[in-house]
Amino acid sequence: MARRRVQEAKHQLLKRPRVVHYFHDVSDPYCHLTAQVLQRFQDNYDVELRPHLISGPPIEALPDPVAHRKNAITDATRLARKLSLSAPEGSVPANDAIADAEKLMAADLANGSFIENVRDTSTNLWSGRGLPSSDHAKPAALISDGDQTLAALGHYLGGTFYYDGEWYWGADRLHYLENRLQHAGLGGGSPRIVPLPSVQPAKRVSQGQEIEFFFSFRSPYSYLAFDRTVDLAHHYGARLVLRPVLPMLMRGLPVPPSKSSYILYDCAREARRLGIPFGRICDPLGKGVERGYALLDYAEGQGKLPEFCSAFLRGVWAEGLNAATDRGLRTIVDNADLDWLAAKPFLNPDLWRDRVQTNQNRLQEIGLWGVPSFRVAGESVWGQDRLWAVEDCLT
């Protein structure tokens, strides 16, 4: 990318140090995973790794804090096994244990030994072992500084890395940062620290399983997941149950600007990696989503519900089609090989609302709130980057 080349040229010309910021939330199970790779990262790359302690995401970034925390532990455990890392054991540590760990890590930040010690401290915390005492008196001040730096740079989560204007969340996004540093000649040919989890559709499995797939027409991650999920279900002979839900903003759930901007950036690079067209966007929020959902029953009646959903998502996230207009929606309908004149009468009734509400109730029932999400073999899975977990449940 041209911007990256300019940044690297400035580093060389100005002899400016290359700094990777890392933000650690002691109570976040994903941070337990990143804590295990920090020393290797520092050893492998010719950059300054500058850690920060933070307090965790703001409440407006967590529509359902209880469900978020429960899912985070389940998902981090699943991801740890996939990446051959140590999984968090049990539930979220007690508040006093978290406070003790924050004091230890604050002391390590102060004396420059954070990266050296964070793995052991995090392991002791998340395994329920005792923590050595620390008399560090100012963890709150360091955490406040970390929160301010995180917000100023434009993010809201722990377990994140920041380098020259770009963000990388979690151990399973670290490969993007590693690739960037390798291309800049800062890695010396070091092997990647963690493997990239991926679907391996070569396994055999018995027929008859079911995948419930929750998605939203306004979710770019749903777009990235949709065709791949259809293909995965077809490969394994699984019955695919499509469950569209309203976008979070249309359900009254907050989405901070920093979250929205990161999602679009992350979707763009994921799309490039996956070879999926992306970027000509016409946000369907509101009328566009409603008109699309109004045609669900028509498309299903024609036996083309997956084709219509795929065409809609591709249309608004990659082809710049305005689903709020007849011209844009007609193109989407045509692209799904459906009849616009037959579809148009379905735009008026609000019958789709009951269907979508049922799906939203089911999403809450399985312990999730965002999309794309999946329910398969009694397991709840969230994220377009967790199709490997869906596959594992199928096999």
Q: What is the largest CA-CA distance in the chain?
A: 74
Query: C-alpha distances in angstroms, 86 versus 6, 98, 102, 189, 244?
Result: 38, 18, 20, 26, 35
Distance, in Å, from the CA atom of 332 to the CA atom of 57, rounded to the nearest integer, reads 38
Question: Among residues of the chain, what percentage have pLDDT more than 90?
Answer: 77
DSSP state for residue 167 in the 8-state scheme:
E
Query: Which of these, 283, 275, 293, lies nearest to 317 by C-alpha position?
Result: 283
What residue type is 388 in one-letter code? W
Question: Which residue has tokens 């279900």?
Answer: 233
The whole-chain average pLDDT of the chain stands at 92
Q: Residue 9's pLDDT is what?
A: 60
Percent of the chain exceeding pLDDT 70 equals 94
Helix axis angle, 287-294 relative to 326-335, nearest 10°? 40
Closest by CA position to 359, among listed 187, 215, 166, 257: 215
Over residues 248-306, the pLDDT tens digits come to 999 988 788 889 999 999 999 999 999 999 999 999 999 999 999 999 999 999 999 99
| Residue with tokens 């244990």, as numbered in its chain | 97
End-to-end CA distance of the chain, in Å? Answer: 39
How much is the average pLDDT of 130-149?
86
Say what the pLDDT of residue 35 is: 98
The answer to whether residue 16 scores a pLDDT higher than 80 is no
Other CB atoms closer than 10 Å to residue 90's CB: what's the count?
10
Burial (CB < 10 A; 0-12, 13-18, 19+), residue 255, is middle
Identity of the amino acid at 364 = Q
Among 97-111, 301-315, 331-345, name the one with the lowest average pLDDT: 97-111
Q: Model's pTM, two decimal places? A: 0.93
Please determine, for residue 206, whether its predicted confidence score (pLDDT) is greater than 60. no
Whether the Cβ atoms of residue 140 and residue 168 lie closer than 8 Å to each other:
no
User: What is the arithmetic mean of pLDDT over 68-78?
Assistant: 94
User: What angle is formed at CA 232 by the lines to CA 229 and CA 237, rounded to 5 degrees?
Assistant: 125
For the stretch 327-347, pLDDT in tens is 999 999 999 999 999 999 999
Nearest-10 Cα torsion for 176, 30, 197, 161: 0
More confident residue, 30 or 188: 30
- At 159-175, the pLDDT tens digits run 999 999 999 999 999 99
The CA distance from 115 to 15, in Å, is 25
In whole angstroms, give the CA distance from residue 260 to residue 240.
29
3-state class of 136 per DSSP?
Answer: coil
Q: Which residues contact 326 (CB under 8 A, 6 or more apart)?
A: 344
Q: Which of 221, 223, 384, 375 is nearest to 309 (CA)?
A: 223
